[in-house]
Amino acid sequence: MAIPCSSQPEQGYIKSGLIPKGTHRFPYAQTKQVKEHNMTNYDITINQARVMDPESRLDQLKNVGISQGKIAMISDSPLNGEQVIDAPGQILCPGFIDLHCHPQDTQIFEVQALDGVTTTLELEVGTSDIEHFYSKWENQSPINFGASIGHIPVRMKVMKDPGVFLPSGDAGRKLASNPEIAEMQHLIRKGLEKGALAVGFGLDYTRGASRWEVIQMFKVAAEYNASCHVHLRGKGHLEPSNAIEALEEVIAAAAITGAPLHVVHLNSTGMRAVPQLLEMIAGANRSGLDVTTECYPYTAGMTKIESALFDDGWQENYGIDYEQLMRPDTGEYLTAKTFSEYRESGGWIITFSTPEESMKAAVKSPLTMIATDSIIEDGKGHPRTAGSYTKVLGEHVRENGDLDLMSALSKMTIMPAQRLQGRAPAFLNKGRIKQGADADIVVFDPLTVKDQSTYTDPIKPPIGLNHVIVNGVPVVSNSKLEEGALPGKGIRAKIR
């Protein structure tokens, strides 16, 4: 897709790194063309793009050739290909890696692809059956996928909880016996040996799990060098049972066992305590622990209304009331009466609980990755599924200057790849633009990219994100899904 050259400097965008200082919007058109073109015919070539690779800090005008699913050439001169994408004025970067999604059907993969996601991973709730998860999505997804072995579904299995996604019976609130803890350890170990990428925890949904039980699960994770992806047991800043205490619990478990720790959606768990949690994570790392975290760029979260999160005392704990709760299927804000009715029947609820300044602190921190906590059912859900990455690029980079472009891309690409590559070497070839890396690539216009999803239209696709390539196959072209393109692969750790 060729874009005409602009001859005027775009000075308003220099600060955020959208345009290299001292250049024009389309600087490639101002440079001298190399006379001798590379004559190799690649499967796909992307010419005249501004290539940004957060690992190497490459930020130059280049041409990229793709063959057999890999990045085969990065050149100063234009390249030939069976398919040629002309991309002057466009950013070419690694595809985005989402460490936190909840796939219910194939729609979520399509929605995320349009937002630039090339690998999406169910690492918080996870699964109790690794083989089934991977076989279910094989040849069904336009983007790569993977999962953790999850403490929640394992606990549900051991306690014969009838819940489908989250506990609805004993697994949520019952204290486990020693034999039950041993059986959970066995199932987690079995999942890791089948290639699970990590161990997932949702401690706010399994409040019956003792601190000792959590340590026992971390022990198994440490044996397999698997990171523990944890939804903390508490929220906010109010004592007792707040997010600070909850983070202390899992930092201690990591220190005791040696397991790597990843704290999910710091923005929605931390709420007003986000700055304190970031300070705690930084301190843990200075002390030699391996602790990472993630956030999404929204002030609202989404969860199940029938879950333990809404047990007695939730208003005081979270600092919100009924009018901050919205049904995503109807757009209705709740009252005391409708809350009781809906809690009885069950379903998803959007919670407006995080102050704007806390969300921004999380997004801006060098400690955080961007991850979506995405879930869509029948086209309804949270706009973070369709807009998290383009919202960061459009709002937090271009409009507000909260982040420079390279830092934002790092949070979406190399940082999540590095979180997992120690256990799953496949990630050594993800999140990078270099010869030999997997051809998972995003091409977007830094001056127009913007999310469009809302709480009432949560799957509305973004604008300005033009091309997405997964394993060398185009899945989004000119901001439209490629019909029938399903190149996504399951990514696992080594199977023992």
Spell out the alpha helix ranges (H) of 50-150.
107-114, 130-137
pLDDT digits 0-9 by tens, 144-162:
999 999 999 999 999 999 9
Is the predicted pLDDT of residue 138 greater than 70, yes or no? yes
Q: Are 253 and 209 in contact (CB under 8 A)?
A: no
Is the predicted pLDDT of residue 315 greater than 80, yes or no? yes
pLDDT digits 0-9 by tens, 417-471:
999 999 999 999 999 999 999 999 999 999 999 999 999 999 999 999 999 999 9
Question: Tokens 């007792």 correspond to what residue?
Answer: 240
pLDDT digits 0-9 by tens, 83-118:
999 999 999 999 999 999 999 889 999 999 999 999
Q: How far apart are CA 281 and CA 230, in angstroms?
A: 13
pLDDT digits 0-9 by tens, 474-496:
999 999 999 999 999 999 999 99
Task: Collect all residues with Cβ–Cβ distance below 8 Å to 298 and sequence separation of at least 6.
Answer: 267, 354, 359, 382, 383, 384, 388, 391
Percent of residues, the chain, with pLDDT higher than 70: 92
Q: What are the φ and ψ backbone dihedral angles of 178, each rounded to 5 degrees?
A: -60, -45
Tokens of 192: 């890791």
Q: How far apart are CA 73 and CA 67, in angstroms?
A: 9
Question: Tokens 């234009």 correspond to what residue?
Answer: 78
Task: Collect all residues with Cβ–Cβ distance below 8 Å to 283 and sequence separation of at least 6.
Answer: none
Q: What pLDDT, on a 0 to 100 scale, did the predictor assign at position 19?
A: 57
Decide the pairing of beta strands 91-94 and 441-444: antiparallel
Is the predicted pLDDT of residue 206 greater than 90, yes or no? yes
pLDDT tier, 318 (very low <50, low <70, confident <90, very high otherwise): confident
E strands along 305-409, which residues? Answer: 325-326, 348-352, 368-370, 376-377, 380-381
Q: Which of 19-28, 125-134, 268-277, 431-440 has the lowest mean pLDDT?
A: 19-28
E strands along 318-460, which residues? Answer: 325-326, 348-352, 368-370, 376-377, 380-381, 441-444
Question: What are the DSSP calls for 325-344, one per residue?
Answer: EE-TTT-PBP-HHHHHHHHH
Is the predicted pLDDT of residue 317 greater than 90, yes or no? no
How much helix, strand and coil, in percent to the nearest 5, is found in the chain? 35, 25, 40
**What average pLDDT is seen over the chain?**
92
Decide the pairing of beta strands 228-231 and 199-202: parallel
Is the predicted pLDDT of residue 13 greater than 90, yes or no? no
Q: Is the peptide bond before 240 cis (omega within 30 degrees of 0)?
A: yes
Percent of residues, the chain, with pLDDT higher than 90: 87
Q: What are the φ and ψ backbone dihedral angles of 58, each rounded to 5 degrees?
A: -60, 130
Average pLDDT over residues 279-299: 99
Average pLDDT over residues 6-11: 34
Q: What pLDDT, on a 0 to 100 scale, did the predictor assign at position 34?
A: 37
User: Helix, strand or coil for residue 156?
Assistant: helix
Q: How far apart are CA 354 and CA 475, in angstroms?
A: 34
Q: What pLDDT, on a 0 to 100 scale, did the predictor assign at position 479?
A: 98
Q: Are 395 and 403 in contact (CB under 8 A)?
A: no
pLDDT tier, 18 (very low <50, low <70, confident <90, very high otherwise): low
- In what side-by-side order are the strands of the sheet with 96-98? 96-98, 117-127, 144-150, 199-202, 228-231, 261-263, 291-295, 368-370
For residues 215 and 39, the model is more confident at 215
Average pLDDT over residues 304-331: 91
| Domain 96-314+350-424 CATH assignment equals 2.40.40.20 | no
Q: What pLDDT, on a 0 to 100 scale, did the predictor assign at position 240?
A: 76
Average pLDDT over residues 15-21: 57
Is the predicted pLDDT of residue 228 greater than 90, yes or no? yes
Q: What pLDDT, on a 0 to 100 scale, did the predictor assign at position 7?
A: 30
- Helical (H) or strand (E) element with 250: helix 243-257
Average pLDDT over residues 307-331: 91
pLDDT tier, 237 (very low <50, low <70, confident <90, very high otherwise): confident
The model's pTM is 0.92
Average pLDDT over residues 168-197: 98
Average pLDDT over residues 20-32: 37
